[in-house]
């Protein structure tokens, strides 16, 4: 007997993306209408992102005010606005499996995009931006030139980029570094403390992630410094990108390739006794759960999922199991913690906020709401305004809280939030104390005195 909603833990089914029926347009349309009709009757997700308001507007403005009078070609507007944040599945929808309605809205959006991609509908710029390792290696060689050309204040080049490849001129783009995190780690050897409570008890392989490796090595160096300070032996590993950018484009075959390659290499480190620690929320989600939904038969992927920790989660686990060294100094300017959607989707609790609260006499505010960025979604001119609209409540909260540090486990979300908050503050004739987006691990490193900049 069908129930209204469910209090049971959600169960996620593997994507049947190798099945020809997955790409059958008639079957996709039937499933889309089934799901959309259930969403229409529920509407609990109206405030999560722009997909649901778009869907409900389509229905409410149709001839019958029901789904039956909405043209299927208009469904693309709903699909476009989905950032695959997973929040509808994880926190809102009462009809996810094991409920008989069996709703998985994000995976339906993914299937819709996969069918579009198979039919040749691909965004050139988004597809090229997904090649993170290729782009990072190329930009590494010419990082000063690449950073000059992409600087928001370079109005000539950014205007040209907006007109030719559709990257919004207002977006502050990540910088590239000649000295990647992997190179910095090799160039500055470090040893774990032999006096910390956890000394000699844990080893961690830090999965560098494409963003930290190419765009923000500072986060990786901070993570390495903290782990060594608390007694954890570290090794930096980067076999390649986790494939999240390809997932956004529904290139499931490419994601499967990355999963097989990266998991095979990281499992070698697991054999040597290393835990795998990720530095960004999206990568943690991919290694822990998304890969297993795309290649459920891969034994390496299953093994890796069980050995992977988010960096905040790992520090908290060490603190509870072994204890942390003394010496954390207060940061009276305070910290605003944005709970990244992909951190929340890992279902591990508010580990970033929990870690920040280890620092004595430091005010901590927490924002649990989507920043709206969604990878390329927040960068492209066509969708950047929607990303700003979705993220506006978060940006306003950051402006009002006016803490000295703004952090998120999603580096792109942190940059997006702070830029939007700074724009708001400028319009309101204010000045924000926080001047740069940060990762929570950087704050802990600062409180320990391991970094000063």
pLDDT in tens, 437-452: 999 999 999 999 998 7
Q: pLDDT tens digits, residue range 4-30? A: 555 667 889 999 999 999 999 999 999
Instruction: Say yes or no to pLDDT of 151 above 90.
Output: yes
pLDDT at 418: 95
Higher pLDDT, 3 or 210: 210
Residue 327 lies inside a defined structural domain of this protein: no
**Integer Cα distance of 53 and 376 in angstroms:** 21
Among 165, 196, 223, the domain boundary falls at 165
pLDDT at 47: 85
Q: What angle do CA 147, 152, 157 make, to 5 degrees?
A: 75
- Report residue 3's pLDDT band, with 50, 70 and 90 as the boundaries: low
Helices (H), 326-401: 341-344, 351-356, 384-401
407 is in which domain, residue-wise? 335-447
Cα 83 to Cα 49, 198, 375, distances in angstroms:
8, 39, 8
pLDDT at 375: 81
Query: What φ, ψ does residue 410 adopt, rounded to 5°?
Result: -105, 110
Residues 377, 257: one domain? no
Residue 201 lies inside a defined structural domain of this protein: yes
Q: Are 349 and 377 in contact (CB under 8 A)?
A: no
Pairing of the two strands 405-408 and 437-438: parallel
Among 270, 297, 321, the domain boundary falls at 321
Q: What secondary structure letter does DSSP report for 122?
A: -
Stretch 55-82: mean pLDDT, rounded?
94
Stretch 353-360: mean pLDDT, rounded?
97
pLDDT at 398: 96
Residues 6 or more apart whose Cβ sits within 8 Å of residue 114:
17, 22, 23, 250, 252
Residues 367, 412: one domain? yes
Q: pLDDT tens digits, residue range 307-335? A: 999 999 999 999 999 999 999 999 999 99
Residues 65, 145: one domain? no
pLDDT at 377: 87
- In DSSP notation, 68-110 reads GGS-GGGHHHHHHT-----HIIIII-TT-TTSTT---HHHHHH
Residue 204 lies inside a defined structural domain of this protein: yes
pLDDT at 91: 79
Residues 286, 346: one domain? no
pLDDT at 5: 54
Residues 347, 310: one domain? no
Among 61-65, 154-158, 369-373, where is mean pLDDT lowest? Answer: 369-373
Instruction: Say yes or no to pLDDT of 250 above 80.
Output: yes
Residues 90, 132: one domain? no
Instruction: Say yes or no to pLDDT of 349 above 90.
Output: no
Q: What angle do CA 431, 434, 435 make, to 5 degrees?
A: 85
Residue 2 lies inside a defined structural domain of this protein: no
Instruction: Say yes or no to pLDDT of 120 above 90.
Output: no
Pairing of the two strands 437-438 and 364-367: unpaired
Stretch 56-62: mean pLDDT, rounded?
95
Residues 287, 267: one domain? yes
Residue 125: count other Cβ atoms within 10 Å of its Cβ.
18
Residues in the chain: 453
Residues 409, 413, 419, 420: is their CA dihedral positive or negative? negative
Residues 103, 129: one domain? no
Residue 349 lies inside a defined structural domain of this protein: yes
Residues 363, 388: one domain? yes
Minimal CA–CA distance to 374: which of 323, 336, 340, 423?
A: 340
Minimal CA–CA distance to 198: which of 285, 319, 104, 73?
A: 319
Residue 316 lies inside a defined structural domain of this protein: yes
Among 272, 298, 321, the domain boundary falls at 321
pLDDT at 135: 93
Residue 173 lies inside a defined structural domain of this protein: no
Instruction: Say yes or no to pLDDT of 232 above 80.
Output: yes
Structural domain count of the chain: 4
**Integer Cα distance of 165 and 159 in angstroms:** 10
pLDDT more than 90, % of the chain: 86
Stretch 257-270: mean pLDDT, rounded?
97
Instruction: Say yes or no to pLDDT of 200 above 90.
Output: yes
Supply the mean pLDDT for the chain: 94
pLDDT at 6: 57
Q: Are 78 and 55 in contact (CB under 8 A)?
A: yes
- Burial of 396 from C-beta contacts in 10 A (0-12 / 13-18 / 19+): middle
Residue 1 lies inside a defined structural domain of this protein: no
Residues 279, 209: one domain? yes
Distance of CA 183 to the CA centre of its chain: 24
Instruction: Say yes or no to pLDDT of 414 above 50.
Output: yes
Helices 132-141, 143-150: crossing angle, 10 deg rounding: 110
3-state secondary structure of 149: helix
Stretch 385-391: mean pLDDT, rounded?
91
Q: Are 322 and 291 in contact (CB under 8 A)?
A: no
Residues 294, 236: one domain? yes
Q: Identify the CATH number of the domain in which residue 257 sits.
A: 3.40.50
- Report residue 1's pLDDT band, with 50, 70 and 90 as the boundaries: very low
Residues 443, 357: one domain? yes
């Amino acid at each position: 007997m069908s129930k209204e909603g469910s209090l049971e833990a959600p169960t996620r089914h593997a994507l049947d993306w190798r099945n020809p029926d997955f790409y059958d347009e008639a079957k996709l349309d039937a499933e889309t209408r089934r799901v959309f009709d259930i969403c229409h009757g529920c509407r609990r997700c109206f405030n999560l992102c722009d997909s649901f308001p778009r869907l409900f507007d389509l229905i409410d403005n149709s001839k019958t005010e029901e789904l039956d009078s909405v043209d299927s070609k208009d469904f693309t507007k709903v699909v476009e606005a989905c950032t695959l944040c997973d929040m509808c599945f994880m926190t809102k929808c009462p009809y996810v499996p094991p409920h008989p309605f069996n709703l998985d809205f994000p995976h339906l959006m993914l299937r819709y995009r996969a069918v579009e991609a198979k039919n040749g509908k691909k965004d050139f710029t988004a597809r090229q931006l997904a090649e993170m390792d290729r782009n990072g290696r190329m930009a590494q060689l010419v990082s000063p030139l690449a950073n000059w050309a992409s600087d928001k204040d370079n109005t000539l080049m950014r205007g040209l980029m907006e007109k030719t490849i559709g990257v919004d001129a207002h977006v502050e783009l990540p910088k590239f570094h000649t000295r990647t995190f992997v190179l910095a780690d090799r160039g500055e050897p470090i040893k774990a403390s032999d006096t910390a409570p956890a000394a000699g008890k844990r080893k961690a392989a830090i999965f560098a992630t494409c963003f930290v490796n190419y765009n923000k090595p500072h986060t990786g160096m901070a993570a390495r410094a903290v782990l060594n300070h608390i007694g954890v032996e570290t090794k930096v590993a980067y076999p390649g990108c986790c494939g999240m950018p390809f997932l956004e484009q529904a290139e499931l075959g490419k994601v499967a390739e990355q999963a097989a390659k990266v998991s095979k290499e990281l499992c070698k480190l697991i054999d040597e006794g290393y835990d795998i620690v990720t530095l960004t929320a999206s990568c943690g989600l991919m290694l822990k759960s998304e890969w297993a939904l795309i290649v459920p038969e891969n034994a390496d992927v299953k093994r890796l999922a069980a050995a992977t920790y988010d960096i905040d989660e790992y520090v908290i686990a060490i603190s509870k199991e072994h204890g942390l060294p003394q010496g954390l100094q207060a940061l009276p300017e305070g910290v605003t913690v944005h709970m990244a959607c992909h951190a929340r989707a890992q279902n591990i609790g508010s580990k970033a906020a929990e870690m920040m609260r280890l620092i004595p006499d430091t005010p901590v505010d927490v924002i649990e709401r989507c920043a709206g960025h969604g990878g390329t979604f927040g960068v492209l001119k066509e969708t950047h305004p929607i990303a700003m609209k979705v993220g506006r409540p978060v940006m306003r909260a950051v402006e009002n809280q006016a803490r000295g540090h703004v952090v998120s486990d999603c580096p792109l979300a942190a940059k997006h939030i702070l830029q939007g908050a700074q724009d708001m503050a400028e319009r309101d004739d204010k000045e924000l104390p926080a001047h740069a987006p940060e990762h929570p691990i950087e704050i802990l490193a600062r409180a320990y005195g391991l970094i000063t900049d």
